[in-house]
Chain A
Amino acid sequence: MSAADVVERLRAAGRDGVELVAEKGSESRVRSSREALRETIQALLDDGFTLFIDLFAVDYPARDERFEVVYQFSRLTRPERVFVHVAAPADDLHVPSVTDLVAGANWPEREAYDLFGVVFDGHPNLTRLLLPDEWEGHPLRKDYPTRGTTPLAPIVTE
């Protein structure tokens, strides 16, 4: 089956909130609601998109649902890839964790929490991954300055 077929089957079974938004060559793009996310991912895994490739967040400040989390899976020895996009607003920045479905999602979810502030509900250990634990703020957000917020050391002239 293709990713498009997987989406069709989910919708036919009554699952709302999943839709195929693009299909080009061997790449498919699926948009999912947060409620449908886990079921969508499980269905794709069951269909043979078993190789976990990536998981990351994007900040679109101009959108109502400002943050987007993108998941990528591939077939193991075939070229087909599927991207799953999930959106969440800044004032309810929660996305269901998929670490129990995909063991490799553990670190990338922590990273998205660390750098964007996305809270993955159900993650076993949602702590910062790359930045020190005591860091404040989420640097990859668009409103975080590129050069950071830590003040430079004072220039001493004597």
Chain B
Amino acid sequence: MVINMGPQHPATHGVLRLVLELDGEIVRSMSPQIGYLHTGFEKSGEALRFQQACTLTDRMDYLSPHANNLAYVLAVEKLMGVEPPPRAQVLRVLFAELGRIASHLVWLGTHAMDIGAMGLFFYCFREREKILDMVEASAGVRLNPSYFRIGGVMRDLPPGLEQSMREFADELPEWIRSYRALLDRNPIWRERLVGIGPIDRATCEQYGVTGPILRATGVARDVRKISPYLGYETYEFDVPTFENGDSYDRYRVRLAEMEQSRRIVYQALDRLEPGPIAVDDWKVAPPPKEALAHDMEALIHHFKLYTQGFNVPAGEAYAAVEGPRGEIGFYVVSDGGAKPFRFRPRTPSYYNLQALPTMTVGSLVADVIASIGSIDIVLGDVDR
């Protein structure tokens, strides 16, 4: 029997249509049909100026907007030869890691809910609310902040936010401990995840599968360690890996990663020094708003920046970051103008989803649900 799972289905985590060929409960073949969330980001990116295009990046993987922002601004900064000041780098690390924790909390809550542990959804989203409050305090927006801008970050932290971050990091272990107490050795959880949705290293390489899925097969690939950016080589953190490549190991990887992100958050908070939060070049980063009232130079630069933008030297550059779902990269081609000539996001969920049939063919329908949750896809990332 051939049936549709989706595109409207609570467990596909977005508008994903899986055409399943079933023999009773056993999946004989699976064909993901994507494109339901395709909104043409790559085309829109060519019609917007470089700073404006940053707002598109939030909306792709909408559960880890900071990671998308980061890959994009790093690519453009590479083309321009611009290096943000130290405080901006540390703020970027802070929000990148808090964003990773927030993303993993959504993953855990929704994945557990699919498997049947519905209460966990509320716990995880309760914790995530605190991070969203921090994002809102910094950027004014909860979900699509565009906080990272070309040349630095949007604005400095409001008073009290550093303290909130520290308090959050202090409380987090207790919450993670409570999730683990509910799940780690829960027989139902283990029955639903151990040995389910297996993938091996060679298949990951062939399909371009990165992130926790790859690390659950034993490969210690983390872009933060291999091609460090934002000074990650100066932070102490581990890259958790496990061996079996199944859904349970992917669960263990992500929980361990939350703990590692917390370590980085403390280190970043400790090294936060006062200073500028964007590069001191008003042709790239806007002057402070207060200056517009009395400084003609500032006014002119502000005007030009927001009406004409800046030109990026011709060339092409790729920048990759380790997002919560895997390697997020941006390939930006500039023709020397103010708009990207080619705006190509390398989005991890697209590649991770393509490998889903290899993980689920021959398994039960219920295992498909568990596998989809364990690969942690976001359809905005898949379809763009």
Contacts and interface: CB of A to CB of B under 8 A. Distances in A.
B331 A56 contact: yes
Nearest to B206: A103
B43 A140 contact: yes
Contact of B355 (A27, A56, A77, A104): A104
B207 A132 contact: no
Interface in B338-369: 341-342, 344, 346, 350-351, 354-355
Nearest to B227: A79
Contact of B35 (A56, A72, A131): A131
A107 B350 CA distance: 9
Given A77-B219, A131-B38, A132-B35, A104 B354 contact: yes
A67 B266 CA distance: 48
Contacts of B355: 104
A107 B342 CA distance: 19
A51 interface: yes
Given A26-B227, A77-B220, A146-B47, A51 B205 contact: yes
A121 B80 CA distance: 37
Contacts of B47: 146
Contact of B208 (A54, A129, A131, A132): A54
Interface residues of B, number: 38
Contact of B206 (A79, A104, A144): A104
B208 A52 contact: yes
A83 B43 contact: no
B207 A72 contact: no
B40 interface: yes
B151 interface: no
Given A53-B329, A76-B221, A130 B207 contact: no
A146 B343 CA distance: 14
Contact of A81 (B220, B318, B351, B383): B318
B44 interface: yes
A146 B46 contact: yes
A137 to B, nearest CB: 12
Contact of A53 (B35, B40, B42, B208): B208
Nearest to B384: A130
Contact of B43 (A26, A79, A106, A146): A146
Contact of A139 (B34, B40, B206): B40
B208 A139 contact: no
A52 B214 CA distance: 13
B342 A58 contact: yes
A56 B41 CA distance: 14
A2 interface: no
Interface of B: 34-35, 38, 40, 42-44, 46-47, 203-210, 219-221, 226-227, 318, 320, 327, 329, 331, 333, 341-342, 344, 346, 350-351, 354-355, 383-384
23 contacts: A51-B205, A52-B205, A52-B206, A52-B208, A53-B329, A54-B331, A58-B341, A58-B342, A58-B344, A70-B331, A76-B219, A77-B219, A79-B227, A83-B318, A102-B206, A103-B203, A103-B206, A103-B207, A104-B206, A106-B354, A107-B350, A130-B384, A132-B35
Interface of A: 26-27, 50-54, 56, 58, 70, 72, 76-79, 81, 83, 102-104, 106-107, 115, 128-132, 139-140, 144, 146
Given A58-B342, A81-B318, A104-B208, 18 more contacts: A51-B208, A52-B206, A53-B208, A58-B333, A72-B331, A76-B205, A79-B226, A102-B206, A103-B203, A103-B206, A107-B354, A130-B35, A130-B383, A130-B384, A131-B38, A132-B35, A146-B44, A146-B47
Q: Which 9 A-B pairs give the minimum distances between C-beta atoms? A: A130-B35, A104-B207, A52-B208, A130-B38, A103-B206, A79-B227, A104-B208, A54-B346, A146-B47
